[in-house]
């Protein structure tokens, strides 16, 4: 079995959760969700996952299908989700319509706030997530309109905003940005976004051209690892209908 | 048992222009849609809607009833962006206070507890304080001295909620997976009207499910009204799932003024719930007939 780009993205998402241990691993979107379930199946068995509604569920389930109550391990309706995230025991991977060099995210709107050119999702949980616990982002289409110099609206806060809060920003932790081209992190002295690894087959110039700000690029850039055979087998079980390939075409 | 049963007309008669109205449910889930359509048909205007928003917010925006929306998001869940809220925002016809989802919980809780605010870290550092400058911070009086966001109490004039079951005294029960924030909406409001799928004798509530599902007690409610399929097309599990096919029809109605007008004439302006359900069921039947003649299976017929 030859891994596809989508498989590589799934494993990159799973690796973002690998060291989480016993916390709520809460990916949003298809590829992050497949990645979260893969992490629980392999590197992070203690992870707690949700059914996308009000239950914590045990076991490894196919994506896109309802999960039966026989897998329920606890009840977590929305109000308790806020209690959990305010307590910090959560790692969320959200989407980002725009993200900047310091990790500021926008999912609210594009253009002027009073009368936006494009109304998007709103702030949703992004402000509370980013100030309370580890957050990662998934961007399925890496391009200069997504990786921008300045976001229209700051929904999820980046390292500069968190630093300006002093002790109030002490739980802030943007961990990874995974895209269809590469994996980025903020492991630099001033927390500017760094290219962590290029997906196999992606040229450095492609990522530079698709990024609207200057990425920190080390002398030797790593290549995102390929899935193992065991991981590929899990991915097939978790995503038998191939939702991942619809999100990231080959 | 005290009798709080009211008619839809009596509920609408208690509402007034400019009121702050909270709506229970979440996204496209367990929304009191029959009451929302009744407001859309009324002469009410300049309303402020507080909601974990779904088609309740969208429909009222489309009907021109809304001055301001206070929300954490407005979404149809399976269709991420609510089309009519989106139009209203992009046309600049409404004011928006878009809060962090958790801030909304705290604002409702503060109102219910009769305190002016509740503190949180959520929202700090984001553009919420910049774009909504009426929000203030507060400094901890203890040794830590931390600065927190003071989420103001969301005092509601009226709350509208839909439950699976209720009794005539105004006790209400949810039977689905999530209570959402309906009890907090009820307690944040001066007046709360509750619709329900079925009005039952009180003893049937605790007999139907564990007593902690009775999250609404009659101290929270002003009036109760039985409306079967009252949350349609949003989900009201376990009584019924979201009507995804109809939600797509609603979404498509946003394409033009003409398509909205046609949707409004047929569904929103249906004078009674029975008229509305007849129109909904006719649409489903004609879609099923179309699918049958095309040799495809109608949606939802798989099981």
Assess B70–A contact: CB distance below 8 Å, yes or no.
no
Between chain A and chain B, how many beta carbons pairs sit less than 8 Å apart?
130
For chain B, where are the alpha helices, taking DSSP H only?
8-13, 33-41, 55-62, 83-90, 101-113, 128-131, 182-188, 202-208, 244-252, 257-263, 273-294
pLDDT value of position B297? 52
pLDDT value of residue B291: 80
Is residue A37 scored above 90 in pLDDT?
A: yes
Interface predicted TM-score of the whole assembly (ipTM), two decimals: 0.95
Question: What value does the mean pLDDT take over residues A105-114?
Answer: 96
Which of A82, A121, A157 lies closest to B125 in CB terms?
A157
Query: Does residue A197 carry a pLDDT above 50?
Result: yes
Chain A 175-234, residues with CB within 8 Å of chain B CB atoms: none
B52, B80, B98 ranked by CB distance to A123: nearest:
B98
- Closest chain B residue to A116 measured between Cα atoms? B90
Out of A77, A124, A171, whose CB is closest to B101? A124
Q: Is the pLDDT of residue B238 over 70?
A: yes
B126 chain-A contacts, CB cut-off 8 A: 123, 126-127, 130-131, 154-157, 161
**pLDDT at residue B160 above 50?**
yes
Could you tell me if B91 and B83 are in contact, meaning their C-beta atoms sit under 8 angstroms apart?
A: no
User: How far does A202 lie from chain B, in Å, by closest CA?
Assistant: 31
Question: pLDDT (tens digit, 9 = 90+) per residue, B210-228?
Answer: 999 999 999 999 999 999 9
Tell me whether residues B126 and A127 touch, CB distance under 8 A. yes
- With CB atoms and an 8 Å threshold, state whether B98 touches A122: yes
Q: What is the pLDDT of residue B301?
A: 41
Average model confidence (pLDDT) for chain A? 97
Q: Do B148 and A168 touch (CB under 8 A)?
A: yes
pLDDT recorded at residue B303 = 35
Q: Is A13 an 8 Å CB contact of chain B? A: no
Asked if A167 has any chain B CB less than 8 Å from its own CB, the reply is yes
Q: What is the domain partition of chain A in residue ranges?
A: 5-240
pLDDT of the residue at B296: 56
Determine contact: B85 vs chain A, CB below 8 A. Answer: yes
- The whole-number pLDDT of residue B295 equals 60
Looking up tokens 């990231």 gives A248
pLDDT at B300 (0 to 100): 43
Is the pLDDT score of A171 beyond 70?
A: yes
At A2 the pLDDT is 87
Give the confidence band of B290 by pLDDT, cuts at 50, 70, 90: confident
| Nearest chain B residue (CA) to A74 | B177
Residue A155, both tokens: 């929904």
Q: Does B204 touch chain A (CB under 8 A)?
A: no
d(CA A62, CA A41): 12
What is the model's pLDDT at position B256?
97
Grade residue B294 by pLDDT with cuts at 50, 70 and 90: confident
Is it the case that residue B279 has pLDDT exceeding 60?
Answer: yes
**Tens digit of each residue's pLDDT (9 = 90 or more) over B167-179:** 999 999 999 999 9
User: Given CB atoms, is B83 within the 8 Å cutoff of chain A?
Assistant: no
DSSP state of B149: E
Q: How far is A122 from chain B (nearest CA, A)?
A: 5
Q: Which of B34, B40, B43 is nearest to B84 (CA)?
A: B40
For range B190-217, the mean pLDDT: 98
Q: Is B248 on the interface with A (CB under 8 A)?
A: no
pLDDT digits (tens, 9 = 90+) for A118-152: 999 999 999 999 999 999 999 999 999 999 999 99
Indicate whether A45 pLDDT > 50: yes
* A11 contacts A37 by C-beta, under 8 angstroms: no
From B71, B89, B105, residue closest to A82, measured CB to CB: B105
CB contact under 8 A, B127 and A153: yes
Residue B235 pairs in a beta bridge with B29
CATH class as words, domain A5-240: alpha beta
Return the percentage of chain B with pLDDT > 70, whole number.
97
Binned at pLDDT 50, 70 and 90, residue A163 comes out as very high
% chain B with pLDDT above 90: 94
Contact of A92 with chain B, judged by CB distance below 8 Å, is answered with no
Chain B, nearest residue to A155 by Cα: B126
Half-sphere exposure of A200 (CA within 13 A, CB side): 14
Interface subset of B 25-64, CB within 8 angstroms of A: 26, 52
Could you tell me if residue B153 is left (phi over 0), alpha (psi between -120 and 50 degrees) or otherwise beta? Answer: beta
**Within an 8 Å CB–CB cutoff, is residue B68 touching chain A?**
no
A168 and chain B in contact, CB less than 8 A:
yes
């Amino acid at each position: 079995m030859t891994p596809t780009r989508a498989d590589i993205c799934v494993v990159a998402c799973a690796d973002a959760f690998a060291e989480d241990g016993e916390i709520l691993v809460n990916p949003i979107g298809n590829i992050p969700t497949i990645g979260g379930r893969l992490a629980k199946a392999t590197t992070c068995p203690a992870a707690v996952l949700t059914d996308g509604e009000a239950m914590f569920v045990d076991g490894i389930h196919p994506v896109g299908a309802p999960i039966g109550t026989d897998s329920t391990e606890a009840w977590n309706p929305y109000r308790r989700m806020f209690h959990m995230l305010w307590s910090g025991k959560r790692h969320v991977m959200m989407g980002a319509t725009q993200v900047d060099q310091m990790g500021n995210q926008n999912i609210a709107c594009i253009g002027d706030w009073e009368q936006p050119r494009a109304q998007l999702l709103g702030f949703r949980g992004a402000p509370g997530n980013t100030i309370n616990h580890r957050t990662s982002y998934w961007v399925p289409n890496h391009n200069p309109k997504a990786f921008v110099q300045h976001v229209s609206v700051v929904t999820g806060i980046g390292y500069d905003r968190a630093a300006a809060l002093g002790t109030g920003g002490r739980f802030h932790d943007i961990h990874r940005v995974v895209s269809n081209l590469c994996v980025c992190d903020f492991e630099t002295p001033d927390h500017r976004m760094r290219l962590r690894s290029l997906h196999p087959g992606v040229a450095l110039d492609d990522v530079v051209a698709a990024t609207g700000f200057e990425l920190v690029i080390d002398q030797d850039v790593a290549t995102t690892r390929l899935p193992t055979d065991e991981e590929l087998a899990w991915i097939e079980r978790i995503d038998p209908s191939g939702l991942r390939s619809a999100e990231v075409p080959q | 048992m005290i009798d709080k049963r009211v008619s839809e007309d009596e509920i609408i008669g208690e509402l007034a222009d400019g009121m702050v109205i909270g709506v229970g449910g979440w996204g496209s889930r367990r929304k009191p849609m029959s009451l929302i359509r009744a407001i859309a048909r009324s002469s009410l205007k300049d309303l402020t809607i507080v909601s974990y928003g779904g088609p309740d917010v969208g429909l009222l925006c489309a009907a021109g009833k809304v001055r301001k929306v206070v929300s954490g998001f407005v979404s149809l869940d399976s269709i991420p962006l609510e089309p009519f809220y989106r139009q209203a925002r992009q046309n600049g016809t409404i004011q928006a206070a878009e809060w962090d989802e958790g801030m909304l919980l705290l604002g409702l809780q503060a109102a219910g507890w009769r305190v002016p605010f509740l503190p949180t870290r959520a929202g700090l550092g984001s553009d919420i304080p910049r774009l909504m400058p009426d929000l203030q911070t507060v400094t901890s009086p203890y040794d830590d001295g931390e600065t927190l966001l003071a989420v103001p109490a969301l005092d509601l004039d009226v709350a509208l909620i839909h439950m699976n079951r209720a009794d005539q005294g105004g006790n209400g029960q949810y039977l689905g997976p999530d209570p959402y924030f309906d009890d907090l909406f009820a307690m944040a409001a001066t007046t709360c009207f509750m619709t329900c799928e079925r009005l039952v004798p009180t003893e049937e509530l605790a007999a139907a499910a564990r007593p902690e599902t009775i999250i609404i007690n009659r101290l929270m409610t002003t009036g109760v009204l039985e409306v079967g399929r009252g949350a349609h097309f949003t989900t009201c599990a376990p009584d019924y799932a979201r009507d995804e096919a109809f939600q797509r029809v609603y979404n498509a109605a946003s394409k033009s003024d003409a398509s909205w007008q046609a949707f409004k004439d047929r569904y929103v302006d249906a004078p009674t719930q029975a008229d509305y359900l007849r129109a909904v069921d006719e649409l489903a039947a004609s879609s099923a007939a179309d699918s049958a003649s095309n040799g495809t299976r109608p949606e939802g017929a798989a099981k």
